[in-house]
């Protein structure tokens, strides 16, 4: 079995290990203990596995682990290191944007990455921004509420 | 157990060398949105995965004399956010905005969308109406083909095992700056097209000087509807002409029925999408003229 | 208690922080050293004889630890149960086969199991198992399967596995009196639960020799069924239920548990099995498709006089919960209306399609589509508004259900919710595009909460007040994401006057937590809520009584607020809760208890004519929508969606709204896009790019209106909301489409293609 050396940082922590050529970043992360990255379809069709890879939100199930070599990965567990990440987590909690919670890690990552680029979106823009992340429980209403509340806060503190 | 190998070359030439050596045993990986699912479904076996994401030469959107150059590694989101494409080539950004979802658009590339050669390849449709030129290289040759001649069948292109796309180019012409793209899917995001239509149009004195029409998900490959195009060329725009052209479009497409829609609906909707795109363009062109 | 401290407040759930930080360990976020990976070999055909199975090559593969087929299963054939402990008779118990034996009945049926050192080896081993099939014709349409001489799916001489009926009055007389009669047939498709977490778990044998199964399950009482499969005593199998990434009824039947138990029993090693998304769509249960033939008669003034319904459902290849689902459909078939003459006949039929079972709504959403469409048609024909026709006919307090005659003793909110929902639509959206037509639709409905009363349902809960004033709760309650677990904490916090942060709950463990029954049938707020309330109040009473003694006041004068036992109206007079606890402990007063709450019990009804009480109570609701239909493409956009339910009492309004909003979108998917397409037994939509559910870009901002009548049987007058929330949105949407463009879709989902084919008949028929 051929394995390749891989060095990356996950949530600011350096990791030096190996990965198989065809291993997805999702499987790699889960195998290395980052089980907060969820597996919902392994085909890029649900968004539960979303992580930030070099400042872009990507679906880790359709990214090779080795494509993260020498790169920076952030999962939901790293969000507390960012003010925006903490704000989003708090807002999701307070607005009841969580039910089963299985889409939540991906949803928060997508929201964080989106608000980093576009801090004051309207509700329709938020809906488009999270349209790659399925949620079966909430009907999205409270998720949009939670993200929008952070956007409003951003506007106020501008 | 792993039958796969991984190589991450730094230059285009390295990639070409590897392709030359490995031929059909090689599989280029960029955005990866299809490659990993295909590996999982065992459709790709025993391959050398050539990760080209770190090759700077294959990235970027540039203006080159009278042409626009797109690196094959240009991501779909780059098309949306680039000043060059988003200001003047709306047909491309419209398609990009309808492409998959914002996350996939962060990684999926133009080159990947073209080589996958899905009949539903959303980016291929506006590139067809922009009459894009595909630049292809191998260690033995360099060639250029029009995108309309690039696709062979579902999942098949003219690319040889040792070749890769190194660039996509289209002209900075008036016709290319006046385009419109429409997609019908089963939902508003993460939708595989039921049908897509792009139209690029140049009107002179209410007459159609140039027109290109392309459609997706209505034939074995993304297609140019050259029959409808030649029917329209040099004609004066009026409602009757449009109605006739709709019929031509519906006759020219060759859709199939699948779980997303029937052949009949696809035929119907291609005509409709053509009408809507054409009217958008014609209305604004004529408007510009009379003003 | 007059004023609530925590109940009724929109507070963050107990599990919320663990979920936003990624700390929560779902079923698949756990592993054990030496764990094996399991895979299931599945049938390639929907109907075939198994001539032979050869596992020799697979067994020889390096790293393979077990390969099991039907012959290795101690009790391969048993009956489906869903956690009931009372006897319910043969009418509800169908064959459950762990692994296919001699014959396969649907594509994807489990034929063999493999456990290996890695997932890759397990997958490879599957390829090495040789199964020799002889294909059989099969039958794929329930109407065909009912006919004499049809291919027999199972071993019995008929494919009909259940027949249900109810009637009142005389329909012949009723239709004779009618001024207007509408007859129509409606069809609804297979639907997938599409929870984002697929089915899965991990099993191991613990130090006591007990098989532990850590799994996402709505019914941890299946430990008994798994023990039966292995021929073990029930106390040798333990379920540890995890928080689920969604359930919706799909984790109500056994999924991976029997496989895991067999493999861990055989190998004596921990084993992990998770379904892929494809497996989940292909092999686990679906919502029942129904063919529903309806005839309704009304007087000129819109008053209903008769209803005759024949419902045929596709049970797929095995019964699972089909009989129960069909009973629900039968009871719901006349909707929330007063109709003097009613006859309903329901047939539940085996086919060689994927099996069907529980799916949010459990048989209610299907007939709801029809009767609410027919009510709308009546309204249009008689030129009465959608609201008015419902006002004239809907059930009110004291009336009885037109199917079973069950009398509604508590407040029936139908007129109120219908009006509120309809009015909340506000002004009609203006639309300048001539190709976009706007329309509105209304639907009302009722749905039971709590299990069928003849199941003799109960729930237990244990509460213990610690000496430092913190609380430990133990309840077998499974949480599928609805906030079931948090709800119990909230009740205890309310009753014992402590903050949520001082409560620790252990849940969903058959060895350690008292069994609380299934998280199904919208029953947990009602059942486990009441059990927990009962337990908390017992302890509260002991505390108050001790404090009364210490303070020398009447117990009636005391309340527990913010960890103090206070004298009401004189809040300066109080004792810290911990002081009272200390005094109780010194006096040997028990500050813990385990209680059981029982639902009302009835006997098993005559299934051919179900009469009287079958459910403890019902939840009433209304949904109103405004849509814009593109008359050239057929695309439907939902502009407004109002959902209004009498929830009795919203213990946590955030969770209740969440159910109502989420339920609405679950139903919106049913109306507009969702369908598991199964062609001749073959699933054509085995992924999320083929089985389409709504994305955020597709949905309106659902507006939830909560009516709190206090009339429910749950704690503080609460009713259940989980399933009712999704059960009537589909007909509201269909009615709005009709209002917009005059096209009535009778075959879900209402795709753009179906709409355009109806609108542009001349084009498509040429």
Nearest to C695 among A41, A134, A144 (CB): A134
Residue C71: give its domain's CATH number: 3.90.1170.50
Say if residue C533 is in the same domain as residue C676.
Answer: no
Query: What's the gap between Cα C640 and its chain centre?
Result: 26
Residue B154 CA to residue B174 CA, distance in Å, equals 32
Beta-ladder partners of B111: none
Under 8 Å CB pairs connecting chains A and C tally to 167
Q: How many CA atoms lie within 13 Å of C679's alpha carbon, on the beta-carbon side?
A: 5
Say if residue C417 is in the same domain as residue C447.
Answer: yes
Token output for C626: 């405004």
Under 8 Å CB pairs connecting chains A and B tally to 94
- Please determine, for residue B291, whether its predicted confidence score (pLDDT) is greater than 70: no
B81 CB neighbours in chain A (<8 A) are none
Q: State the nearest Cα–Cα gap between B101 and chain A, in angstroms.
A: 5
DSSP single-letter state for residue B30: S
Q: Which residues 34-73 on chain A approach chain B with CB closer than 8 angstroms? A: 42-45, 47, 50, 56-59, 61-64, 66-67, 69
Residues of chain C with pLDDT under 50: 1
Q: Which domain holds residue C298?
A: 290-452+604-765
H-helix or E-strand spanning residue C238: strand C237-241
Say yes or no: B192 contacts chain C, CB-CB below 8 A. yes
Whether B29 and A43 lie within 8 Å, measured CB to CB = no
Q: How many CA atoms lie within 13 Å of C54's alpha carbon, on the beta-carbon side?
A: 6
**φ/ψ (deg, to 5) at C488:** -65, -40
Report the pLDDT averaged over residues B97-124: 97
Say if residue C637 is in the same domain as residue C615.
Answer: yes
B4 CB neighbours in chain A (<8 A) are 2, 20-22
Residue B209: give its domain's CATH number: 3.30.390.50
Closest-CA residue to C245 (of A131, A108, A103, A107)? A103
Question: Using omega within 30 degrees of 0 as the cis cutoff, is the peptide bond preceding C749 cis?
Answer: yes
Residue C723 CA to residue C252 CA, distance in Å, equals 14
Token output for B19: 């392709």
Q: Which domain holds residue B31?
A: 5-51
Strands B5-7 and B48-51 come out as parallel
All CATH 1.10.150.120 domain ranges of chain A, comma separated, are 79-156
Concatenated DSSP letters for C697-719? GG----EEEEE--S-SSSGGG--
> Looking at chain A, which residue has its C-alpha nearest residue B187?
A131
Report the pLDDT averaged over residues A41-49: 98
Q: What pLDDT is stored for residue C223 in this prediction?
A: 97
Report the pLDDT averaged over residues B129-146: 98
Q: Which of C274, C300, C331 is the last residue of a domain?
A: C274
Say yes or no: C95 contacts chain B, CB-CB below 8 A. no
Considering the domain boundaries, does residue C54 fall inside one? yes
Say if residue C115 is in the same domain as residue C211.
Answer: yes
**φ/ψ (deg, to 5) at C461:** -150, 145
C430-483, pLDDT tens digit by residue? 988 999 999 999 999 999 999 999 999 999 999 999 999 999 999 999 999 999
- Please determine, for residue B1, whether its predicted confidence score (pLDDT) is greater than 60: no
Say if residue C576 is in the same domain as residue C676.
Answer: no
Q: Which residues 70-109 on chain A approach chain B with CB closer than 8 angstroms? A: none
Report the pLDDT averaged over residues A103-130: 98
Whether C688 and A134 lie within 8 Å, measured CB to CB = yes
Q: What pLDDT is stored for residue C1 in this prediction?
A: 45
3-class SS of residue C570: strand
ipTM, 2 dp: 0.98
A4 CB neighbours in chain B (<8 A) are 6
Token output for B58: 């294959």
Nearest to A45 among C195, C657, C687 (CB): C687
Nearest to C665 among A92, A126, A140 (CB): A140
Say if residue C621 is in the same domain as residue C742.
Answer: yes
Say yes or no: C762 contacts chain B, CB-CB below 8 A. no
> Looking at chain A, which residue has its C-alpha nearest residue C16?
A93
Q: State the nearest Cα–Cα gap between C251 and chain A, in angstroms.
A: 13
Residue B82 CA to residue C425 CA, distance in Å, equals 41
Residue C95 CA to residue C103 CA, distance in Å, equals 14
Whether A132 and B1 lie within 8 Å, measured CB to CB = no
Report the pLDDT averaged over residues A73-94: 98
Q: What pLDDT is stored for residue C324 in this prediction?
A: 94
Say if residue C132 is in the same domain as residue C81.
Answer: yes
Nearest to C697 among B189, B194, B262 (CB): B189
A79-156: which CATH topology?
Answer: DNA polymerase; domain 1 (1.10.150)
Residue B191 CA to residue B46 CA, distance in Å, equals 30
Residue C633 CA to residue C627 CA, distance in Å, equals 14
Residue B26: left (phi > 0), alpha (psi -120 to 50), or beta? beta
Nearest to A131 among B2, B33, B189 (CB): B189
C486 CB neighbours in chain A (<8 A) are none
> Looking at chain C, which residue has its C-alpha nearest residue A40?
C196
B261 CB neighbours in chain C (<8 A) are 753
DSSP single-letter state for residue C420: H
Q: Tokens 């496989």 identify what position?
A: C259
H-helix or E-strand spanning residue B243: helix B239-252
Token output for C184: 């129509």
Nearest to B268 among C124, C696, C756 (CB): C756
Say if residue C230 is in the same domain as residue C96.
Answer: yes
Whether C245 and A89 lie within 8 Å, measured CB to CB = no
Q: What pLDDT is stored for residue C90 in this prediction?
A: 76
Chain C: touching chains (3 or more CB pairs < 8 Å): A, B
Nearest to A40 among C247, C277, C664 (CB): C277
Strands C682-683 and C211-215 come out as unpaired
H-helix or E-strand spanning residue C213: strand C211-215
Q: How many CA atoms lie within 13 Å of B224's alpha carbon, on the beta-carbon side?
A: 19
How many structural domains are present in chain B?
Answer: 3
Say if residue C44 is in the same domain as residue C78.
Answer: yes
Q: State the nearest Cα–Cα gap between C633 and chain B, in angstroms.
A: 7
Say if residue C562 is in the same domain as residue C685.
Answer: no
What's the per-residue H, E or C state across chain A?
A: CCEEEEEEEECCEEEEEEEECCCEHHHHHHHCCCCCCCCCCCCCCCCCCEEEECCEEEEHHHCEHHHHCCCEEECHHHHHHCHHHHHHHHHHHHCCCCCCCCCHHHHHHHHHHHHHHCCCCCHHHHHHHCCCCCCCCCCCHHHHHHHHHHHHHHHHCC
> Looking at chain C, which residue has its C-alpha nearest residue B102?
C697
A3-77: which CATH topology?
Answer: Ubiquitin-like (UB roll) (3.10.20)
Mean pLDDT of chain B: 95
Q: What pLDDT is stored for residue B45 in this prediction?
A: 78
Closest-CA residue to C76 (of C262, C296, C295)? C262
Residue B289: band (very low, low, confident or very high) from pLDDT cuts 50, 70, 90: very low
Residue C473: give its domain's CATH number: 3.30.365.10
Whether B189 and C696 lie within 8 Å, measured CB to CB = yes
Structural contact between residues C239 and C27, judged by C-beta atoms closer than 8 angstroms:
no
Gap between the terminal Cα atoms of chain C: 71
Residue B285 CA to residue B262 CA, distance in Å, equals 34
Q: Which of B171, B193, B212 is the last residue of a domain?
A: B171
Closest-CA residue to A131 (of A120, A121, A140)? A140
Say yes or no: A118 contacts chain B, CB-CB below 8 A. no
Q: State the nearest Cα–Cα gap between C637 and chain A, in angstroms.
A: 14
Residue A106 CA to residue A50 CA, distance in Å, equals 5
Whether C277 and A133 lie within 8 Å, measured CB to CB = no
Token output for B258: 């699948």
B187 CB neighbours in chain C (<8 A) are 673, 692, 694-695, 697-698
How many structural domains are present in chain C?
Answer: 3
Question: Which long-range contacts link C24-27 to residues 24+ away (Cβ below 8 Å)?
Answer: C24/A101, C24/C243, C25/A35, C25/C242, C26/A38, C26/A102, C26/C197, C26/C216, C26/C242, C26/C243, C26/C244, C26/C245, C27/C197, C27/C200, C27/C201, C27/C202, C27/C214, C27/C215, C27/C216, C27/C242, C27/C244, C27/C274
Show the beta-strand stretches assigned E in C664-709: 678-679, 682-683, 703-707
Token output for C277: 């998304």
Say if residue B39 is in the same domain as residue B71.
Answer: no
All CATH 3.10.20.30 domain ranges of chain A, comma separated, are 3-77
Residue C111 CA to residue C104 CA, distance in Å, equals 8
Q: State the nearest Cα–Cα gap between B259 and chain C, in angstroms.
A: 7
C247 CB neighbours in chain A (<8 A) are 100
Structural contact between residues C559 and C428, judged by C-beta atoms closer than 8 angstroms:
no
Considering the domain boundaries, does residue C28 fall inside one? no
Closest-CA residue to C162 (of C321, C38, C303, C359)? C321
Count Cβ atoms below 10 Å from residue C382 Cβ, excluding itself. Answer: 16
Residue A33: left (phi > 0), alpha (psi -120 to 50), or beta? left
Q: State the nearest Cα–Cα gap between C154 and chain B, in angstroms.
A: 29
Q: Tokens 């099991």 identify what position?
A: C68
A42 CB neighbours in chain B (<8 A) are 36-37, 40
Count Cβ atoms below 10 Å from residue C134 Cβ, excluding itself. Answer: 10
């Amino acid at each position: 079995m051929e394995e390749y050396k891989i060095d990356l940082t996950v949530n600011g922590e350096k990791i030096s290990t190996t990965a198989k050529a065809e291993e997805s970043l999702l499987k790699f992360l889960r195998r290395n203990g980052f089980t907060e990255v969820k597996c919902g379809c392994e085909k890029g069709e649900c968004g539960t596995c979303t992580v930030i890879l070099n400042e872009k939100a990507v679906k880790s199930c359709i990214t090779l682990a080795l494509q993260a070599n020498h790169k920076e990965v952030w999962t939901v567990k790293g969000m507390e290191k960012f003010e925006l990440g903490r704000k989003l987590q708090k807002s999701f909690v307070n607005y009841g944007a969580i039910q089963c919670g299985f889409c939540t890690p991906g949803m928060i990552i997508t929201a964080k990455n989106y608000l980093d680029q576009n801090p004051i979106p309207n509700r329709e823009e938020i809906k488009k921004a999270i349209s790659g992340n399925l949620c079966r429980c909430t009907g999205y209403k409270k998720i949009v509420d939670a993200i929008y509340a952070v956007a409003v806060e951003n506007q106020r503190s501008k | 157990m792993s039958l796969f190998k991984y190589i991450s070359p730094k230059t285009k030439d390295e990639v070409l060398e590897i392709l030359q050596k490995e031929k059909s045993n090689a599989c280029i990986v960029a955005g990866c949105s299809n490659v990993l699912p295909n590996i999982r479904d065992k459709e790709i076996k025993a391959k050398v995965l050539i990760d080209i994401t770190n090759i700077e030469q294959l990235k970027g959107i540039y203006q080159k004399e009278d042409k626009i150059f797109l690196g094959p590694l240009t991501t779909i989101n780059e098309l949306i956010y680039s000043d060059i494409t988003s200001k003047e080539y709306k047909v491309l950004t419209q398609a990009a905005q309808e492409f998959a979802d914002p996350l996939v658009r962060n990684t999926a590339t133009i080159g990947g969308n073209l080589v996958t050669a899905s009949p539903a390849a959303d980016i291929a449709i506006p590139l067809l109406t922009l009459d894009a030129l595909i630049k292809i290289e191998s260690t033995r040759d360099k060639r250029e083909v029009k995108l309309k001649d690039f696709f062979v069948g579902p999942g098949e292109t003219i690319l040889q095992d040792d070749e890769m796309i190194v660039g996509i180019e289209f002209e900075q012409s008036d016709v290319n700056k006046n385009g419109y793209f429409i997609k019908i899917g089963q939902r508003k995001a993460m939708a595989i097209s039921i049908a897509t239509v792009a139209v690029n149009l140049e009107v002179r004195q209410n007459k159609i000087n140039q027109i290109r029409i392309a459609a997706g998900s209505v034939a074995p490959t993304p297609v140019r509807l050259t029959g409808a195009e030649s029917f329209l060329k040099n004609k004066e725009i009026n409602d009757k002409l449009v109605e006739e052209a709709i019929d031509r479009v519906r006759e020219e497409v060759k859709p199939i029925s699948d779980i997303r829609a029937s052949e009949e609906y696809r035929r119907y909707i291609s005509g409709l999408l053509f009408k809507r795109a054409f009217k958008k363009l014609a209305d604004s062109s004529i408007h510009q003229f009379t003003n | 208690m007059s004023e609530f401290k925590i109940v009724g407040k929109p507070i963050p759930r107990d599990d919320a922080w663990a979920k936003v930080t990624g700390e929560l360990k779902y079923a698949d976020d756990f592993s054990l050293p030496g764990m094996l990976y399991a895979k299931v070999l599945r049938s390639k055909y929907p109907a075939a004889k198994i001539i032979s199975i050869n596992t020799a090559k697979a067994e020889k593969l390096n790293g393979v630890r077990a390969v099991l087929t039907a012959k290795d299963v101690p009790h391969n054939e048993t009956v489906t149960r869903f956690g009931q402990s009372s006897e319910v008779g043969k009418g509800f118990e169908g064959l459950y086969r762990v692994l296919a034996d001699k014959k396969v009945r649907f594509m994807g049926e489990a034929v063999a199991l493999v456990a290996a050192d890695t997932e890759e080896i397990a997958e490879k081993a599957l390829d090495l198992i040789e199964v020799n099939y002889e294909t059989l014709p099969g039958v794929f349409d329930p109407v065909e399967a009912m006919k004499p001489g049809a291919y027999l799916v199972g071993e019995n001489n008929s494919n009909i596995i259940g027949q249900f009926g109810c009637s009142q009055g005389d329909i012949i007389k009723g239709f004779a009196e009618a001024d207007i009669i509408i007859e129509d047939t409606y069809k609804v498709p297979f639907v997938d639960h599409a929870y984002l977490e697929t089915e899965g778990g991990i099993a191991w044998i613990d130090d006591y020799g007990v098989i532990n199964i850590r799994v996402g399950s709505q019914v941890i009482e299946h430990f008994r069924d798994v023990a039966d499969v292995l021929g073990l005593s029930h106390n040798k199998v333990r379920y540890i239920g995890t928080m689920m990434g969604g359930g919706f009824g799909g984790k109500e039947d056994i999924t991976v548990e029997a496989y895991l138990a067999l493999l861990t029993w055989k190998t004596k090693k921990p084993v992990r099995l998770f379904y892929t998304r494809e497996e989940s769509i292909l092999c686990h249960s679906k919502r029942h498709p129904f063919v529903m033939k309806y005839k309704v008669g009304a007087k000129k003034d819109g008053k209903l006089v008769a209803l005759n319904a024949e419902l045929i459902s596709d049970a797929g290849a095995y019964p699972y919960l089909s009989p129960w689902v069909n009973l629900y459909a039968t009871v719901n078939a006349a909707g929330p209306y007063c109709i003097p003459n009613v006859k309903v006949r329901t047939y539940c039929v085996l086919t060689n399609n994927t099996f069907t079972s529980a799916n949010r709504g459990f048989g209610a959403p299907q007939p709801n589509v029809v009767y609410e469409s027919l009510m709308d048609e009546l309204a249009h024909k008689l030129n009465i508004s959608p609201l008015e026709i419902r006002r004239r006919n809907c059930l009110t307090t004291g009336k009885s259900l037109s199917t079973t005659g069950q009398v509604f003793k508590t407040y029936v909110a139908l007129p109120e919710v219908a009006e509120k929902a309809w009015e909340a639509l506000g002004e009609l959206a203006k639309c300048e595009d001539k190709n976009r037509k706007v329309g509105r639709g209304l639907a009302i409905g009722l749905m039971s909460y709590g299990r069928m009363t003849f199941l003799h349902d109960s729930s237990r809960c244990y509460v213990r007040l610690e000496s430092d004033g913190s609380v430990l709760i133990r309840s077998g309650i499974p949480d599928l994401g609805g906030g079931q677990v948090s709800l119990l904490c909230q009740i205890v916090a309310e009753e014992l006057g402590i903050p949520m942060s001082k409560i620790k709950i252990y849940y969903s463990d058959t060895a350690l937590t008292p069994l609380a029954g299934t998280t199904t049938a919208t029953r947990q707020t009602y059942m486990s809520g009441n059990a927990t309330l009962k337990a908390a109040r017992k302890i509260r009473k002991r505390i108050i009584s001790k404090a009364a003694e210490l303070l020398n006041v009447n117990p009636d004068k005391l309340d527990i607020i913010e960890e103090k036992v206070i004298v009401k109206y004189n809040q300066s007079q109080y004792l810290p809760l911990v002081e009272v606890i200390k005094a109780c402990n010194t006096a040997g007063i028990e500050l813990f208890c385990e209680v059981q709450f029982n639902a009302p019990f009835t006997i098993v009804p005559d299934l051919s004519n179900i009469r009287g009480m079958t459910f403890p109570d019902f939840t009433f609701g209304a949904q109103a929508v405004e849509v814009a239909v593109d008359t050239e493409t057929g695309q439907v956009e939902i502009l407004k969606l109002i959902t209004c339910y009498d929830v009795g009492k919203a213990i946590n309004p955030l969770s209740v709204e969440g159910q109502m909003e989420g339920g609405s979108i679950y139903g919106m998917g049913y109306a507009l896009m969702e369908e598991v397409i199964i062609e001749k037994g073959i699933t054509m939509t085995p992924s999320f790019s083929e089985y389409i559910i709504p994305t955020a870009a597709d949905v309106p901002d659902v507006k939830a209106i909560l009516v709190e009548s206090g009339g429910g049987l749950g704690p503080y007058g609460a009713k259940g909301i989980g399933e009712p929330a999704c059960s009537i949105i589909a007909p509201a949407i269909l009615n709005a489409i009709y209002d917009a463009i005059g096209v009535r879709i009778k075959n879900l989902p209402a795709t753009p293609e179906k709409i355009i084919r109806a609108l542009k008949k001349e084009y498509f028929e040429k």
